[in-house]
Amino acid sequence: MDVDRIREDFPILQRRFHDKPLVYLDNAASSQMPKPVIDRLVRYQTQEHANVHRAVHHLSEIATAGYEGARRKVRQFLNAGDEREIIFTRGTTESINLVMHGYGRPFIGAGDEIILSAMEHHSNIVPWQMLCQEKGAKLRVIPMNDNGELLLDDYKKLFNERTKFVALAHVSNALGTINPVREMISIAHHHGVPVLLDGAQAAPHLTVDVQALDCDFYAFSGHKMYGPTGIGILYGKAALLEKMQPYQGGGDMILSVTFERTTYNTIPYKFEAGTPPIAAAIGLGAAIDYVAAIGLDRIAAYEEELLNYATAQLSALSGVRLIGTAHHKAAVLSFEIDGIHPHDIGTILNEDGIAIRAGHHCAQPVMQRFGVPATARASFAFYNSFEEVDALVAGIKNVQRMFS
Amino acid sequence: MDTKQLYQEVILDHNKKPRNYGALENANRRAEGHNPLCGDHIILSVRVEDERIENLAFQGEGCAICKASASMMTAYVKGKTLQEADQMVQEFREMATGKLNVAHQPHHLGRLTVFAGVRDLPARVKCAILPWHTLHAAFSNEHVASTEGADEPMKAIVGNV
């Protein structure tokens, strides 16, 4: 893969901070946008903007075609069987909340159990906790080993007749672990339990085939996969979506309203209340075109090389400990440096133009599991180079020198 | 500002060898400060006699900025009256948030001005202020201080320790 060529597509990567080139290693929080996506947004805003599904005028037709075209692209991207199974939301978090409200509230009750993993992001814990508080249901947590791998035997033992739902990260944002979701879904289905995958960290890095996975719900965000913020996806099996309650009322989710009753629209519109994020959806469509043109297989292969290189480099540094050393990992490196708080690491690396994340990464239970208040996290995208890994290593040595 | 200016030797030294570290056996004021975002956690125990800080100590986990700020704070406010200490809390807050220019305006912060540079690192302002906020909470009998949820990064949540 010609990374130098690819980097030219990302204008922000040309920026300099503190008179040094930007080394952007915070992709798990938000990735950068390539020029084709930016150009597509500009074209929409300058030439095509109108509300969708409403008017008979020409602009509205163009905007609607763009918006629904993006839905088609997402369907292909996930290999969903039907466009009606693709719902536009504001992000992964809203997608999960939609499932909690639409499926959880009507179908999960007192004494029922929901299985989560020990490595979930807060946004795949808190909605389920809220549901438990409301309904008197209970969370059961799949434990993990010291490498950050889920214990499948323990997972199997969590199932019983009260188990009603499984919500699981496809890839952990704090540890990089790629979970064996296909096997885990099949175990859940054996017990007749539906599974939601939080794919926020997977969709930008791996080929996702919702039919092959047989997941019931799949959630991800545009801004972590080279698209705009404010757009997310919820894939759901049509049969489940049909049974679910709408999440919010108003706008496109309605077929007809009287003061006596409202008839809801069909899926997916039943779940798209109000004016949707039209520009962001079109931008996400352009991002999908962009990554598809490179090929997710090639992206995954390159990122794996980069991760292996970075892992070897950081492991060789004395006083540096990697947190999350699963056998099967995506491009995330969480680490600690002896005696130096991650916040200090982040601030000093910033001086070298290196952007990493320091904190609990909205996964406090993971931090508790590994007994640390926070970690420093470098997360990679396919536009990151081997030289940037070297810059990170030099930066870490610099931090250590300063604190020695 | 150059980060190296902030991470001066005095700060690195206090981080490595914090002064007044531990718990105070005969404390009559105690407060706990949290920064939920980064996990900084400070427990402050204070002995107050006749409106004067007789002694104080801190424990907890935090970054270098937070620990050094706590360490230097304990050294500076020991022996001060509550009123004097509260004035320092106020001045430290204003310095860290860029409202007080210690080079040109009068203050009582002495060498604590090594923290002035933190105003240029908005993400780290809370780290420096947390110990001071916790001290204020200890005086006000607000047992739990938190830096979360306010853009003026000082907000007390009253609760039981």
The angle that helices B64-77 and B9-16 make with each other, rounded to 10 degrees, is 90
A366 touches chain B (CB under 8 A): no
Q: Rg for chain B (alpha carbons), in Å?
A: 14
H, E, C per residue of A66-116: HHHHHHHHHHHHHCCCCHHHEEEECCHHHHHHHHHHHHHHHHCCCCCEEEE
Q: Which residue has the tokens 């759901």?
A: A236
Give mean pLDDT, residues A298-314: 97
Do residues A40 and A286 lie in contact, with contact meaning Cβ atoms separated by under 8 Å? yes
For residue range A147-160, what is the model confidence (pLDDT) as tens digits?
Answer: 999 999 999 999 99
Dihedral-angle region of residue B46 (phi above 0 means left; psi in -120 to 50 means alpha; beta otherwise): beta
Flag whether pLDDT at A237 surpasses 80: yes
Amino acid at A148: G
Work out whether strand A320-323 and strand A254-257 pair parallel, antiparallel, or are unpaired. unpaired
Picking from B3, B9, B15 by the largest number of A CB atoms within 10 A of its own CB, the best residue to mutate is B3
pLDDT for B1: 52
* C-alpha distance from A272 to closest chain B C-alpha (Å): 30
Q: State how far the Cα of B106 lies from the Cα of A71, in Å rounded to an integer.
A: 62
Lowest mean pLDDT among A98-102, A167-171, A337-341, A362-366: A362-366
Tell how far CA A65 is from the center of its chain.
26
> What is the count of residue pairs from A and B with beta carbons less than 8 Å apart?
52
pTM of the model: 0.91
Encoding tokens for residue A133? 């508080």
**With pLDDT > 90 as the criterion, what percentage of chain A qualifies?**
91
For B13, name the nearest residue in chain A, comparing CA atoms only.
A403
Do residues A198 and A218 lie in contact, with contact meaning Cβ atoms separated by under 8 Å? no
Q: Is A215 a catalytic residue?
A: no
* Greatest Cα-to-Cα distance within chain A, rounded to the nearest angstrom: 73
User: Which range scores top for mean pLDDT: A123-127, A261-265, B13-17?
Assistant: A123-127
* C-alpha distance from A352 to closest chain B C-alpha (Å): 10
Interface of B with A in 62-81 (CB under 8 A): 62-66
* DSSP, res B58: E
pLDDT for A391: 98
Q: Give chain A positions within 8 Å (CB) of B65.
A: 343-344
Give mean pLDDT, residues B2-29: 87
Q: State how far the Cα of A344 lies from the Cα of B63, in Å rounded to an integer.
A: 6
pLDDT for B95: 96
Q: Which residues share a beta bridge with B145?
A: B33, B156
For residue range A11-58, what is the model confidence (pLDDT) as tens digits?
Answer: 999 999 989 999 999 999 999 999 999 999 999 999 999 999 888 899
Whether residue A359 and residue B63 make contact (CB cut-off 8 A), yes or no, is no
Whether residue B39 and residue A359 make contact (CB cut-off 8 A), yes or no, is yes
pLDDT for B137: 92
pLDDT band at B157 (very low <50, low <70, confident <90, very high): very low
pLDDT for B2: 62
* C-alpha distance from B80 to closest chain A C-alpha (Å): 31
Per DSSP, the three-state class of A349 is helix
Q: Which residue has the tokens 């956690």?
A: B41
pLDDT band at A297 (very low <50, low <70, confident <90, very high): very high
* DSSP, res A59: H
pLDDT for B149: 46
For residue range A321-353, what is the model confidence (pLDDT) as tens digits?
Answer: 999 999 999 999 999 999 999 999 999 999 999
For residue range B17-74, what is the model confidence (pLDDT) as tens digits?
Answer: 999 999 999 999 999 998 877 778 899 999 999 999 999 999 998 899 999 999 999 9
Interface of A with B in 111-130 (CB under 8 A): none
User: How far is CA A374 from each of CA A341, A355, A402, B67, rounded to the nearest angstrom?
Assistant: 8, 16, 20, 16
pLDDT for B141: 72
Do residues A373 and A360 lie in contact, with contact meaning Cβ atoms separated by under 8 Å? yes
Interface of B with A in 5-24 (CB under 8 A): 6-7, 12, 15
For residue range B96-152, what is the model confidence (pLDDT) as tens digits?
Answer: 999 999 999 999 999 999 999 999 888 889 999 999 999 999 988 777 776 654 433
A42 touches chain B (CB under 8 A): no
For residue range A188-219, what is the model confidence (pLDDT) as tens digits?
Answer: 999 999 999 999 999 999 999 999 999 999 99
pLDDT for B160: 28
Flag whether pLDDT at B153 surpasses 90: no
pLDDT for A299: 97
The one catalytic residue among A238, A362, A372, A393: A362
Work out whether strand A163-169 and strand A113-117 pair parallel, antiparallel, or are unpaired. parallel
Q: State how far the Cα of A333 lies from the Cα of A322, in Å rounded to an integer.
A: 7
pLDDT for B152: 39
Encoding tokens for residue A391? 């810059």
Q: State how far the Cα of A395 lies from the Cα of A273, in Å rounded to an integer.
A: 47
Q: State how far the Cα of A235 lies from the Cα of A58, in Å rounded to an integer.
A: 30
A83 touches chain B (CB under 8 A): no
Do residues A160 and A109 lie in contact, with contact meaning Cβ atoms separated by under 8 Å? no
B59 touches chain A (CB under 8 A): no
Whether residue A402 and residue B4 make contact (CB cut-off 8 A), yes or no, is yes
* C-alpha distance from B37 to closest chain A C-alpha (Å): 7
Cβ neighbours of A44 (radius 10 Å):
21
Work out the mean pLDDT of chain A and round it to a whole number. Answer: 96
**Hey, what's the torsion of the CAs at A400, B2, B3, B8, to 10 degrees?**
80
pLDDT for A213: 98
Half-sphere CA count of A273, side-chain side, radius 13 A: 9
Q: Report the Cα–Cα distance between both ends of chain B, in Å, rounded.
A: 38
Dihedral-angle region of residue A308 (phi above 0 means left; psi in -120 to 50 means alpha; beta otherwise): alpha
pLDDT for A361: 87
Contact residues for B102 (Cβ-Cβ < 8 A; gap 6+)? B95, B109, B113, B116
Cβ neighbours of B161 (radius 10 Å):
8
Picking from B12, B38, B120 by the largest number of A CB atoms within 10 A of its own CB, the best residue to mutate is B38
Per DSSP, the three-state class of A64 is helix
Per DSSP, the three-state class of A164 is strand
